[in-house]
Chain A
């Protein structure tokens, strides 16, 4: 099964899903079978004046994850993630990272065909 990246407010599975994609605090990269995980800091995107979503997409692709679970993805990041072949599950905010992964494993997170945030410049 593909590794799953979840936008996270903190470095553990019981922290909250960060609803923002581009300016998420970090990503938790989980092996859904063993639930082993790594935390990847996304500070490099948070500090950017523009292009945070694109930078964050580069960061996620670099982790080797095949699925992204998050709250909102803007149009440019969506295009980038889509082109890089990453499946995107949106609107999984208001959950812990662990709950989000369970929800995905239960088939309760539909994969998105379009971005659900207009972004800042469109």
Chain B
């Protein structure tokens, strides 16, 4: 089973929750930080790192001699990564999404795949669990290509398909967030009982609904703010899987970089119950689709 921990709003407690889930999960998991723009799961898990490799995306390199300026490449490129200005051909590597249409279509075979560094893939171990994360190169504008590279890396070398995977997703509801949750069997949305938490929860719910996977909510700092989030969940049939109280010892443990489920004994039963609810929710996922992730 793949569990994605996501949220509309940032700072609601995705990593707090993910690190505790990894810690209390009854079997070894694959813990993955796909918030590649600012990964932080490793700060809590402090995994033993086995490898750190660069990930690349293929981008066009043009042989100026062979190119006859026919414009086939610039016409097919949806992202203006290649421009032809009179007699001058220029590539804009940072605009490229790596689709390969240009070198596939070039009648003169003047374009070959070069590469642009996306960032790093880090893998390691947290106790008996596997750990992986992506770290985006400073200056790289797109995070989904690196996220895909991390997933591909897990599938090809590191992943143990028998293990459950717990993904720490980036916040928001745009391409990076969608990319992190699209392969999940269960999506756990972390929110807080504030107008901001509610607004962004509703956005995330709407954005992820077409993926067709079961979703549930964890309300963090549950005893502050208003009851609007609870009401919204009830009205839209979104199950509330857990409520994490607003407690000083939890905040202190978080600030020290500790795993809440371990550092705050009173919180442990809450996470054990959450594991059961997530597992139950996963069983409601369409089993024929689940095969695709193996």
Interface residues, chain A, with chain B CB atoms under 8 Å away:
48, 50-52, 54-55, 57-58, 61-62, 76, 79-81, 83-85, 121
Q: Is B95 an interface residue (CB 8 A)?
A: yes
A121-B94, A121-B141 known; A84-B80 Cβ under 8 A: no
Residues of B within 8 A of A83 (CB): 85, 88, 90
A50-B95, A58-B74 known; A80-B141 Cβ under 8 A: no
Residues of A within 8 A of B92 (CB): 51, 54, 76
**A64 nearest CB neighbor, chain B only:** B86
A-B CB contacts (within 8 Å), total count = 42
A22 to B92, CA, bound (A): 15
Residues of B within 8 A of A121 (CB): 94, 141
- Residues B79 and A57 in contact, CB atoms below 8 Å apart: no
Residues of A within 8 A of B74 (CB): 58
Contact with B85, one of A48, A51, A52, A57 (Cβ below 8 angstroms)? A57
- Residues B79 and A84 in contact, CB atoms below 8 Å apart: no
- Residues A57 and B94 in contact, CB atoms below 8 Å apart: no
A50-B95, A121-B141 known; A80-B90 Cβ under 8 A: yes
A62-B86, A85-B86 given; 17 more Cβ-contact pairs under 8 Å: A51-B79, A51-B81, A51-B92, A51-B95, A54-B83, A54-B95, A55-B80, A55-B83, A57-B85, A58-B83, A58-B85, A61-B86, A76-B95, A83-B85, A84-B85, A84-B86, A121-B141
Interface residues, chain B, with chain A CB atoms under 8 Å away:
74, 79-81, 83-86, 88, 90, 92, 94-95, 141
Residues of B within 8 A of A51 (CB): 79-81, 92, 95
Residues of A within 8 A of B90 (CB): 79-80, 83
- Residues A58 and B84 in contact, CB atoms below 8 Å apart: yes
- Residues A50 and B79 in contact, CB atoms below 8 Å apart: yes
Taking the closest CB of chain B, its distance from the CB of A64, in whole angstroms, is 9
Residues of A within 8 A of B85 (CB): 57-58, 61, 80-81, 83-84
Residues of A within 8 A of B94 (CB): 121
Taking the closest CB of chain B, its distance from the CB of A122, in whole angstroms, is 9
Most buried by B among A48, A79, A80, A85: A80
A95 to B135, CA, bound (A): 47
**B94 nearest CB neighbor, chain A only:** A121
9 A–B pairs (Cβ distance < 8 Å), ordered by A:
A50-B95, A58-B85, A61-B85, A61-B86, A76-B92, A81-B85, A83-B88, A83-B90, A84-B88
Taking the closest CB of chain B, its distance from the CB of A118, in whole angstroms, is 13
A121 to B81, CA, bound (A): 13
Most buried by A among B79, B80, B81: B80
A84 to B92, CA, bound (A): 15
